[in-house]
Each structure stands twice: as structure tokens, then as C-alpha cells.
Amino acid sequence: MPKPSDETLIAYLDGELDENARLEIASLIERDPDLRLRAQRLSESAALLRSAFDAVLREPLPQRLIAAARGETQKVVSIAARVKRTMAGQRRWWIGVPVAASVVGLLVGGGLGYFAGDEQRSNAVREAQANLASGSWLDNIAGYHKLFVAAGSNDTDLADVPPGDGSGRKGSQKLPSDFRLPNLKPWGLEFQGARFLIVEGRPATQLFYTTDNKALGPLTVVVGSSTKADLAPTFDHRDDLNLLYWRHHGHAYALVGTANIGYLWNIANDIGWQLDAI
Amino acid sequence: MSPSFSDQLIAVLPRLRRFARGLAGGVADADDLVQAACERALARAHQFQEGTRFDSWMFRIVQTIWIDQIRSRDVRREGAEDEGLHVGTDESVRRAEARIALGEVRVALGQLPAEQRNALLLVTVEGLSYKEAAEIADVPVGTIMSRLARARVALQAKLEAGGALQRSVDDAEAE
């Protein structure tokens, strides 16, 4: 009997041949060392291929995929589109920013940012809050950080609180009276403004800093109140952004930026010392 | 949306991610693919036939979106990116070699034509039968057989040329 074709041999290895054909190929393999070696090599490459992807099964599932499976991202897309429409022309810093994708990224998080003023926007955001309260607030602040970087620090409409001494006022919102603005000038980081957020259902402030130091890059600092238990500083990442977050004595903190975790850790220690946060 | 449908979807997510990782190459692209598939599945949940395999239905959706993306972008990746190759932090030489070998497998897979890669992932990685893979790919079983054969032979040749197969065998023998 001639040697089996590749198709037949592989079908044999995959258990796809009927009983007669299987016995026939098995007999051939038994008698032919070359064929046996070929079958062995094909089996090994298949096993190697399976091994190459096994690790994927053990990876934690991204929150966004769980949200997608629950149908939550579809609501977000719809809400984000509404927010985008109502915001068009009202905030010039949105121009040129990949709004739809970013807004989706923002709203997927449970801690939703909000924008003062427009009632329609507020309703949309409140709806999103209600729908997505269980999502990840880290996605939210990472999304805002990207918007901030994309918009540029010269656009004063970006922040609810403009740069300066940190006590600026805009609309009805202001920094809490007992809020202490971290001074990160020793790191070359200049405060560029602040935005108010809801993090885990509690008010928070997202502070934006920029620097000429390319190794450090723009940085977001989030300070908010929290009713949850203390949490040791924990690293995470979103795409190319590194995050470090922790909770301490009724406050939640987070750092977001492209800086490596060493930088973030040291800045966190500095903030902790300044705000007695760690 | 019925909780059971979403539950099924969540349960199959790890395998969808693995399948998508093989198709798309990178982690982010693969997860985008899976997310799009979830959204499409939810929108078309009424089309799923009870009593049929849910995972096969989802594989088909992932595959369809992926093909659409390829067509729209007119892109075929020549070599999968290395983004998802992290298989551990052990720094021993053997571990490192194993990692390299697995990385070579992914690269070799990424160099295969799209339809061969698809067949290989469905049958060899996901463990579907030829018939099930043929239904997902919407081709005859014979076509799946020939695609698989070409893919397996090509993959083996690439791995032998790169030395990954030998390192893998040595690693197994060492254990």
C-alpha cells in the first residue's frame, strides 16, 4: 500500500478516519519508521500549537468583555453617541479628539465623569451611571487621561478647575475647601487643571499634570472619598497607560500615566507624604 | 436579555479570546474582535438555535467579523505581534527557550493564509471535529481536510526551520 497522503495521515492523527481506515494507517505507521517519524513530528507540532495558546485560557477576563457579554457596552455606545451629539460644538477641546471611542472608554468605567451645565448631558450621564455602576472606574480615569493628553493643556475648557493655585472657581463647582493640591513640581510636573468625577459612587477630583520630561509624561492624579476598606497600592494598566491606585482612611487615590511603575510608585509615596494618604 | 444567554457568552469568553488571539495576533485586536462578536451575538440572539452548539455559533461570529475586517482593511498580518507571548516570569533557561518556542509557533501561525489559520485554530486548538469546523467555515469537510493538511505541513516546516520543534522536544524529554 502506498504511503498515505498528508490529509489522510493528519485525519488519522485527528481521529477523523473511520475504523477500517484507521487500522490501515496504524498498521502502516507500525511498519514504516519514516512514516512513524512523520506522524510523530506532526503530533508534536500540533501539541506545541495548543500549548502556545493555553495561557490565554488562564488570563483574567477583561472587564470590557464581561460588560459586552452582559449587553452593557451596547447601552454605552448608545449613551455615548447621545453625549457626543449634545456636546458637539459646546466644548471645542473635543474637536479632533476621537470622541466616540473615548467616550465609550470613559463610560465603560463605573466612576463616570460628569460635565456641568447642560441638562441633557447630565441626564445621559446619569443614565450611564445607573447602567454601569458596577464597572471599572479605572477605565474611566484612564479614558479621561487620554482625552486630556489628546486635547492639550492649553485648552482651558478641559478642566472644571483651571490651573493656578488650585482654588479656581468655575460654574457651581469648586475644589473642596479642605482639598490639598499635591505639589509635584519637584518632579517637573505642572498642574494644569482639575475635573470632577464620581468614583465608586463617591465624589472625586481628577488632577492633570504635564511635564517636559518625556520619560515621565503627562500624569493624572485622582483623589476622592471612599467608604471602602483600605487597599494597598496596586498596579494595573490600560493599553499603554500604567495605573497605581490605593485607598487609605476613607480616601481613594490613583495615578495614571505612561510613566513606568517605578516613577508612579515614587510619586505615590510623595503624594502619600503630602496628603498623608499612605 | 436573558441571563442564561449572557452566562453562556461569559462562559465561552476564554475560548473566544484564544480563538481570536490566533486569528488576530495581538491581544488588543483579539479582544476588540471578541467584544464585537459579543455585541453581534446579543443583537442576533434570536437567531441562535437551541440544541445546537453555542460555542460553534460564537466561533462562527468571531470568524465572520474577522473576515470582514480583513476584507475591509485589505490587511493580512505577516507575522503575529509579540504582545501576547508572556507565558510566565520564570527566568530559567528552559523556561526562556520554551517561551521562544511558543512565540515561534504564534509567528508561524500568523504567516499562514487566513483560511488555513482558521481551520488550524478550530480543529487543532479548539478541538472541533472536521464537520463542525466545516460548518463554521461554511465549506465542505474535504476543504477543511485539505486546508488543515497544508497548514499542518507548513507549520511543521516553519517550526523545524526555526528550531522551535526541536527545543520543544528537548524540553519535554528533559522533564
Which of B6, B39, B101 is closest, CB to CB, to A48?
B101
Question: Which triple of cell numbers denotes residue A180?
Answer: 490639598
3-state secondary structure (DSSP) of residue A89: coil
Q: Average pLDDT of each block of 10 consecutive residues along chain A (278 residues)? A: 88 93 93 92 89 86 85 54 43 35 38 38 44 55 75 57 52 56 86 76 82 87 84 82 86 89 85 75
Output A172 or B37, whichever has higher pLDDT. Answer: B37
Which of A16, A53, A64 is closest, CB to CB, to B35?
A64
User: Looking at residue A278, what is its pLDDT?
Assistant: 58
What ipTM, to 2 d.p.? 0.77
User: Looking at residue A206, what is its pLDDT?
Assistant: 83
User: Looking at residue A104, what is its pLDDT?
Assistant: 39
Q: Shortest Cα distance from B71 to chain A (angstroms)?
A: 22
Q: CA B151 to CA B125: how far, in whole Å?
A: 13
Contact B31 A46 (CB under 8 A): no
Q: CA B120 to CA B57: how far, in whole Å?
A: 17
Mean pLDDT along residues B141-161: 92
Angle between helices A6-13 and B141-162 (to 10 degrees): 90
Q: Is A57 on the interface with B (CB under 8 A)?
A: yes
Q: Could you tell me the pTM of the whole model? A: 0.52
Q: Is B35 on the interface with A (CB under 8 A)?
A: yes
Residues 6+ apart with CB under 8 A from B171: B94, B97, B98, B101
Q: How far is CA A12 from CA A34, A217, B50, in A?
A: 16, 57, 32
Which of A 163-202 lie inside 8 A of B, CB atoms?
none
Contact A44 B165 (CB under 8 A): yes
Q: CA A135 to CA A64: how far, in whole Å?
A: 8
User: Looking at residue A236, what is its pLDDT?
Assistant: 84
User: Looking at residue B18, what is its pLDDT?
Assistant: 93
In chain A, residues with a C-beta closer than 8 Å to the C-beta of B95 are: none
Residues 6+ apart with CB under 8 A from A239: A142, B28
Output B172 or A202, whichever has higher pLDDT. Answer: A202
Question: Which triple of cell numbers denotes residue A227?
Answer: 467608604
3-state secondary structure (DSSP) of residue A103: helix
Contact A71 B1 (CB under 8 A): yes
In A, minimum Cα distance to B42 occurs at A71
Q: Is B145 on the interface with A (CB under 8 A)?
A: yes
Q: How far is CA A104 from CA A36, A144, B57, B130, B135, in A?
A: 55, 11, 27, 39, 35
Q: How many residues does chain A have?
A: 278
Which of B6, B15, B105 is closest, CB to CB, to A70?
B6
Cα angle for residues A48, A51, A52 (degrees, 5° grid):
90
User: Looking at residue A63, what is its pLDDT?
Assistant: 82
Q: CA B102 to CA B167: how far, in whole Å?
A: 10
In chain B, residues with a C-beta closer than 8 Å to the C-beta of A45 are: 152, 155-156, 159, 165
Greatest distance between any 2 Cα atoms in chain B: 52
Q: Is B87 on the interface with A (CB under 8 A)?
A: yes
In chain B, residues with a C-beta closer than 8 Å to the C-beta of A49 are: 105, 109, 120, 124-125, 155
C-alpha of A69 from chain center: 17
Q: Shortest Cα distance from A17 to chain B (angstroms)?
A: 11
The cell 445546537 sits on which residue? B52
Q: Is B166 on the interface with A (CB under 8 A)?
A: no
The tens digit of pLDDT for each residue in B41-97 reads 998 988 998 888 999 999 999 999 988 888 776 544 444 433 333 333 344 445 555
Question: Which triple of cell numbers denotes residue A198?
Answer: 464620581
Q: CA B72 to CA A209: how far, in whole Å?
A: 39
